[in-house]
Structure 1
Amino acid sequence: MPMDILLKEILSIQGVSGDEAKICRFLVEYVLQRSSSWKVTPKLYFGEKFHENIVLVFGKPRTVAFAHMDTVGFTVRYENQLVPVGGPELDESAFLIGEDAQGIIRCKAELRDGNIFHDFPRAIQRGTSLSFEQHIYEDDGFIEAAYLDNRIGVYNLLKLCETLEDGIIVFSTYEEHGGGAMPFLIKFIYENWGIRQALISDVTWVTDGVGFNKGVVVSMRDRYIPRKVYLNRILELADKSGIPYQLEVEAHGSSDGREIQLSPYPMDWCFIGAPEENAHSHREKVAYFDLECMIKMYQYLMCNL
């Protein structure tokens, strides 16, 4: 599965939590340009009332799939300090990029006395977002790049849009830094369409029990635990699909599923995604085979749930 232009395009766009306007604008324009050629043309909800979040409604929906579009990064403080956004892995060899009122920024960061500092030769405007400079590598069935978390999840849902007849697709914000957008999105979706089942399109970790080239990961739990009845339905369908998958059981980590579980709405959820190495770094790594399985599994589940 060689990388297509769409994946490369969304990997090239910055979108640190709280600063998702560029990636939001790209996705809205993409939908407006392409949706007439999809199997079903969705109703599109976006704009100031939704902040930078996007909701696509296809046909008569039964299930909603969420993918967060934000990434980890840094916010410029004062005295050349940087404050992490989410949990970026600091690598002093990696370049950070951004832009303020005075121009383009490219710098490195270093940890000194417990604080993070940039080495840009001038002061950077306070509040500027910085994220890893993008370099995309493809080799022997793998892709390495920054922002795979969660542009892989976004790409998966964009591919799903091409064939989806009934369902809701949501591109959400703020996931990497504690959430915040999901409560009003869940309320909007539940109160307008009565949706009670959700899938979380995101990436997870390669661990001692989850490996590359073994298929998409169905998470049985992370820090939070999906309802077993719903999980069993998904596993039944996953078996029937014949699509390679692997099971994950973890004690830590979370996703937009957390916000669903803590909401006052009776909506089930399950995290399903490709595994990656080097999470939150400038060289996250995903196997194309696992991504292919992820795309196929979402197409199957959204049709049959």
Structure 2
Amino acid sequence: MKDLLKKLADAPGVSGFEDEVRDIMINELKDSVDKIEIDQLGNLIATRNGKPDGKKIMLAAHMDEIGLMIRYIDKNGFIKFSKIGGINDQMLLNQEVSIHTSNGIVTGVIGSKPPHRMKEAERKKVIDYENMFIDIGVSDKEEAENIVKLGDPITIKQEFTELGKLYKGKALDNRIGCAVLVEVMKKAESDATIYGVGTVQEEVGLKGAKTAAFKLNPDMALALDVTIAGDHPGIKEEDAPAKTGKGPGIILTDASGRGLITHPKIKELLISVADEEEIPYQLEVSEGGTTDATAIHLTREGIPTGVISPPTRYIHTPVSVVAMEDVENAVKLILAVLERI
């Protein structure tokens, strides 16, 4: 599981550019499923056939990560960029980045006006990304345009690695869900037909989940994602009670109900199976963001949907942190649920 998560987390996959992540998942799944297809938007759909009269279950994990994109190159060859997905500007400054071009990876660093030349009031403010730039070590615009192009996607350069008893990676949101999906699809035993879907462009509007759910029209669905672990300084327990190492989160609602309110039958199923199998879990009522489940459950005439999310520290940064046992217990819970359907 650790090796799989490393391969997935280290691969680039900014929204709209999920190809490398999808290729890893295809390679992992090709000998374990009955069918693999890529739809017109780029979603990966892997199918394990069940009984002809069985239910249809959709498991969805988004393949994309937040990132950047080249939007302008100035006369001196410095690059201005746009943000793709929800990024806090303060985590960008002075990061090393990888620009993914048609000719390979170009390394750059994010810079800004040095603090030595800032007025006192400026030093107290978070620098806006529009006042940052990427330096790729060239002399002018022409030289830069020979190696990078407008629209090239950019990822922060961080590697998956052990962090004491935990693990750190640049894109654990949501390569954790992708790893869980792969492991479940390899091992699942069920009368139901199971669709393992790697969705595209979740971070910019839940786009892939909308089209995939419409195509498949399943009887029920589970989104596999991450949730905020609040077991660190700077956050109140009441605002983010989930803790690393205490089991995957079963999400009861997110975005204060504006996103998903988990279907009562799905809620009952997940909790009862976890209790019967003695799999640790944490219940969550969230006021924060949402997942692919929001798009899936509103498809066609409605699809009963739930979310299983290992708690992860510092999500939407290049240094997200997770406990491997939470990832493994998410796999165990989903496999146990599928056996009962």
User: TM-score if structure 1 supplies the norm length?
Assistant: 0.89
Q: Which amino acid aligns with 1:43?
A: K
Change (3 A) 1:164 1:103: closer
Instruction: Provide the rounded CA distance (Å) in 2 between the counterparts of 1:269 and 1:148.
Output: 22
* 1:147 CA drift (Å): 0.8
Instruction: Provide the rounded CA distance (Å) in 1 between the counterparts of 2:128 and 2:330.
Output: 42
Q: Which amino acid aligns with 2:290?
A: S
Retained in 2: the 8 A contact 1:187–1:265?
Answer: no
Which contiguous aligned blocks of 4+ residues in structure 1 show a shift greater than 6 angstroms? none
Q: Which amino acid aligns with 1:51?
A: L
Which residue pairs with 1:106 in the alignment?
Answer: 107
Name the Cα RMSD after superposition. 1.9
Which residue pairs with 2:234 in the alignment?
Answer: none
Which residue of the other structure, out of 129, 146, 156, is the alignment partner of 1:132?
156
Which residue of the other structure, out of 133, 137, 140, is the alignment partner of 1:121?
137
* 1:7 CA drift (Å): 2.1
What are the Cα deviations for residues 23-50 of structure 1, in whole angstroms up to 9, with x where unaligned?
2223223322x32xxxxx322222xx43
**Runs of 5+ consecutive residues of structure 1 not aligned to the other structure:** 36-40
Change (3 A) 1:164 1:251: same
**Runs of 5+ consecutive residues of structure 2 not aligned to the other structure:** 74-78, 113-126, 139-143, 231-236
Retained in 1: the 8 A contact 2:311–2:326?
Answer: yes
Which residue pairs with 2:58 in the alignment?
Answer: 64
What secondary structure does 1:152 align onto?
helix
Q: Does 1:252 align with 2:284?
A: no
Change (3 A) 1:239 1:91: same
Which residue pairs with 1:210 in the alignment?
Answer: 242
Instruction: Provide the rounded CA distance (Å) in 1 between the counterparts of 2:104 and 2:184.
Output: 38
What are the Cα deviations for residues 116-174 of structure 1, in whole angstroms up to 9, with x where unaligned?
42122343411010011132221332001111111111111111122113422111100
* 1:189 CA drift (Å): 0.8
* 1:247 CA drift (Å): 0.7
Which residue pairs with 2:124 in the alignment?
Answer: none
Which residue pairs with 2:168 in the alignment?
Answer: 144
Q: Does 1:177 align with 2:196?
A: no
Which residue pairs with 1:196 in the alignment?
Answer: 219
User: TM-score if structure 2 supplies the norm length?
Assistant: 0.80
Instruction: Provide the rounded CA distance (Å) in 1 between the counterparts of 2:36 and 2:104.
Output: 34
Q: Does 1:161 align with 2:199?
A: no
Retained in 2: the 8 A contact 1:58–1:165?
Answer: no
Change (3 A) 1:101 1:137: closer
Of stretches 10-19 and 55-64 in structure 1, the one that deviates more from structure 2 is 55-64
Q: How many residue pairs align between the two structures? A: 291
Of stretches 127-136 and 66-75 in structure 1, the one that deviates more from structure 2 is 127-136
* 1:288 CA drift (Å): 1.3
Retained in 1: the 8 A contact 2:99–2:108?
Answer: no
What are the Cα deviations for residues 156-199 of structure 1, in whole angstroms up to 9, with x where unaligned?
11111221134221111000111212222112111xxxx22111
Which residue pairs with 1:52 in the alignment?
Answer: 42
Task: Using the aligned pairs only, state the percent identity.
Answer: 25
What secondary structure does 2:329 align onto?
helix
Retained in 2: the 8 A contact 1:196–1:266?
Answer: no
Which residue pairs with 2:15 in the alignment?
Answer: 17
Retained in 2: the 8 A contact 1:11–1:148?
Answer: yes
Instruction: Provide the rounded CA distance (Å) in 1 between the counterparts of 2:246 and 2:27.
Output: 35
